[in-house]
């Protein structure tokens, strides 16, 4: 790493190195690697931290979404309304169970699924609504809870970017049937590989997901239904257990950094999406500009790494052409403008100051086209 370079994220072990290494050694010495005591303990601890009675570990966050949908009865021929702006895995999880993802456009301020657009997309085939808490900002769950209840639809939350987030003071993942989480290494709570979990208040739903993740087994070698193989392994569960107690403190750091970004970017030639709920956990910190490529190059020239989340709306991905996706112009516009700046608990105040100074030095005449969509 060259002197002065600011990476977007550094995933090497840091202050928790000794604890992570000790957790790994414990599992190696025990010799139990799948669905054992570490998974059971992590499920209890994550449920408690997330404000839900039950948690079920899965192989990935994608599987967590798919298993939740399947467990509430969504399947072949059903439609699931979801967002056009997220990682494509949200909609791929819908297709994994034979259902059709239906894309409704964004709330232009939150950049999450718009409840009004979602209601307009409901058809007789609609079985569920799947909002995503994008970048760590909660979707409008009060509106979605009301909509799902009025229309008799299942409500599933994609919480893969919103660990320990809240909406109106209530934990994300607790508004509908359940919430799905990813522990991909870049997440606010990250494993050292793929891992996921479901949280729910429904004991029966939790039991069914436990069966489904383990091939549909009700006992060893007795398969009551056609499940899948999506089991959280002991190594990842042990690592997550060592990191879970630090998430609340790290979230506080993320929020403080985000507040500093907002203050220091005032008057800059970029638009900062508003914080619309105090429960935002800032998995990412995007800004918007119609000159994204130029700004990204400007920052790169100064030794600052940035990323684009996500450059192509899900409905415009070739993988979804067969579902005949609807046009989502607000999402199209956002995907052309968003640029994620570095934000993580290890980011130093001096680095944040340097990043914002470089953004502020970007040409003052740069277009702020995104503002007309964020008013």
Per the CB < 8 A criterion, the answer to whether 100 and 119 are in contact is no
pLDDT (tens digit per residue) in 33-71? 999 999 999 999 999 999 999 999 999 999 999 999 999
Per the CB < 8 A criterion, the answer to whether 299 and 359 are in contact is yes
pLDDT band at 363 (very low <50, low <70, confident <90, very high): confident
Q: Is 131 left (phi over 0), alpha (psi -120 to 50) or beta?
A: beta
pLDDT (tens digit per residue) in 348-362? 999 999 999 999 999
From start to end of 239-371, where are the E strands? 285-288, 338-341
pLDDT at 4: 87
Of residues 163, 136, 129, 115, the one with CA closest to residue 309: 136
pLDDT at 89: 98
Query: Is residue 373 pLDDT above 60, yes or no?
Result: no
Q: Average pLDDT of 21-25? A: 98
The Cα diameter of the chain in Å comes to: 67
Strands 222-223 and 217-219: antiparallel
CA atoms within 13 A on the CB side of 25: 6
Q: What does pLDDT average to over the chain?
A: 95
pLDDT (tens digit per residue) in 123-160? 999 999 999 999 999 999 999 999 999 999 999 999 99
Interatomic CA distance for residues 161 and 178, integer angstroms = 15
DSSP secondary structure string for all residues of 192-238: SS--EEEEES-HHHHHHHHHHHBTTEEETTEESS---B---BHHHHH
Q: Average pLDDT of 292-311? A: 97
pLDDT at 234: 98
CA 354 to chain CA mean position, Å: 28
For the structural domain made of 17-104+111-245, what CATH number should be given?
Answer: 3.40.640.10
pLDDT band at 365 (very low <50, low <70, confident <90, very high): low
Per the CB < 8 A criterion, the answer to whether 57 and 231 are in contact is yes
Instruction: Provide the percentage of residues in the chain whose pLDDT is more than 70.
Output: 96
pLDDT at 196: 98
Burial class (CB in 10 A: 0-12, 13-18, 19+), 189: buried
Query: Is residue 371 pLDDT above 90, yes or no?
Result: no
Give me the residue label for tokens 């499940």: 227
Q: Average pLDDT of 202-224? A: 96
List every span in the chain annotated with CATH 3.90.1150.10: 247-373
pLDDT at 137: 98
Query: Is residue 343 pLDDT above 50, yes or no?
Result: yes
Query: Is residue 370 pLDDT above 50, yes or no?
Result: no
Q: Which helix (H) or strand (E) holds 127?
A: strand 126-130
pLDDT (tens digit per residue) in 68-127? 999 999 999 999 999 999 999 999 999 999 999 999 999 999 999 999 999 999 999 999
What's the pTM value of the predicted model, to 2 decimals? 0.95
pLDDT at 364: 60
Burial class (CB in 10 A: 0-12, 13-18, 19+), 374: middle
Q: Which CATH architecture has domain 247-373?
A: Alpha-Beta Complex (3.90)
Query: Is residue 200 pLDDT above 80, yes or no?
Result: yes
């Amino acid at each position: 790493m060259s002197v002065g370079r600011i990476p977007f994220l550094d995933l090497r072990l840091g202050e928790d190195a000794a604890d992570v290494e000790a957790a790994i050694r414990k599992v190696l010495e025990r010799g139990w690697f799948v669905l054992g005591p570490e998974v059971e303990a992590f499920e209890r601890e994550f449920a408690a931290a997330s404000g839900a009675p039950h948690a079920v570990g899965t192989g990935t966050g994608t599987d967590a979404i798919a298993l939740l949908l399947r467990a509430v009865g969504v399947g072949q021929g059903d439609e699931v309304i979801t967002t056009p702006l997220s990682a494509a895995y949200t909609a791929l999880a819908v297709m994994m169970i034979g259902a059709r993802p239906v894309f409704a456009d964004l709330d232009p301020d939150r950049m999450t699924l718009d409840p009004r657009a979602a209601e307009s997309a409901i058809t007789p085939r609609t079985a569920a609504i799947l909002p995503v808490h994008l970048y760590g900002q909660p979707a409008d769950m009060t509106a979605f809870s009301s909509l799902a209840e009025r229309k008799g639809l299942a409500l599933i939350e994609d919480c893969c970017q919103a660990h320990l987030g809240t909406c109106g003071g209530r934990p994300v993942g607790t508004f509908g049937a359940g919430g799905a989480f990813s522990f991909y290494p870049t997440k606010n709570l990250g494993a050292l590989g793929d891992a996921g979990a479901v949280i729910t208040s429904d004991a029966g739903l939790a039991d069914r997901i436990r069966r489904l993740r383990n091939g549909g087994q009700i006992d060893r070698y007795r398969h009551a239904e056609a499940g899948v193989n999506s089991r959280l392994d002991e190594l990842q569960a042990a690592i997550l257990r060592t990191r879970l107690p630090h998430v609340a403190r790290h979230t506080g750091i993320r929020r403080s950094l985000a507040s500093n970004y907002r203050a220091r970017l005032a008057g800059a030639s970029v638009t900062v999406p508003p914080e619309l709920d105090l429960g935002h956990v800032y998995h990412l910190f995007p800004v918007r500009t119609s000159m994204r490529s130029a700004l990204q190059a400007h920052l790169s020239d100064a030794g600052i790494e940035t990323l684009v989340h996500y450059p192509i709306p899900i409905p415009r991905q070739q993988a979804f052409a067969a579902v005949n996706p609807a046009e989502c112009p607000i999402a199209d516009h956002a995907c052309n403008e968003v640029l994620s700046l570095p934000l993580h608990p290890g980011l130093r105040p001096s680095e944040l100051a340097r990043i914002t100074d470089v953004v502020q030095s970007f040409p003052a005449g740069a277009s702020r086209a995104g503002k007309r969509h964020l008013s």
